[in-house]
Amino acid sequence: ILNVEQSPQSLHVQEGDSTNFTCSFPSSNFYALHWYRWETAKSPEALFVMTLNGDEKKKGRISATLNTKEGYSYLYIKGSQPEDSATYLCAFLPDSGTYKYIFGTGTRLKVLA
């Protein structure tokens, strides 16, 4: 059974702090990794799609890196703002031919003003 783990489960930071979370996945098979931002009572919003080892993607104050050889991806938020409060979810697609997305349980971020 393939497992995708995200850490920490939840996080409280002060406005202006920078923070990062981890998504860990099996390193033996890799096709793609997606990051989503999911605000309460809304639907998941795509942040990044990462496909190559060493990929680095950036959108405003949020960036992500990918290491497929060791099986992890980091999501960084620079200068957190209260509007960054959300659950950050990663979804892993193994190159197993089944095309089954495997979601992590998310990191719940709360940015305190």
Partner 1 sequence: DSGVTQTPKHLITATGQRVTLRCSPRSGDLSVYWYQQSLDQGLQFLIQYYNGEERAKGNILERFSAQQFPDLHSELNLSSLELGDSALYFCASSAGQGWADTQYFGPGTRLTVL
State the DSSP code for 4: -
If 0-12 CB within 10 Å is exposed, 13-18 middle and 19+ buried, where does residue 76 land? middle
Q: Is 27 in the site for partner 1 (CB under 8 A)?
A: no
Q: Is 23 in the site for partner 1 (CB under 8 A)?
A: no
Determine the interface stretch with partner 1 among 19-27, 61-69, 76-84, 85-93 (rule: CB under 8 A).
Answer: 85-93
Pairing of strands 102-103, 107-112: unpaired
CA dist 55 and 69 (Å) reads: 12
Q: Is 96 in the site for partner 1 (CB under 8 A)?
A: no
Site for partner 1 in 38-77 (CB under 8 A): 42-46, 49, 51
Residues of the shown chain interacting with partner 1 in the complex, contacts defined by CB under 8 A: 31-32, 34, 42-46, 49, 51, 89, 91, 93, 98-101, 103-106
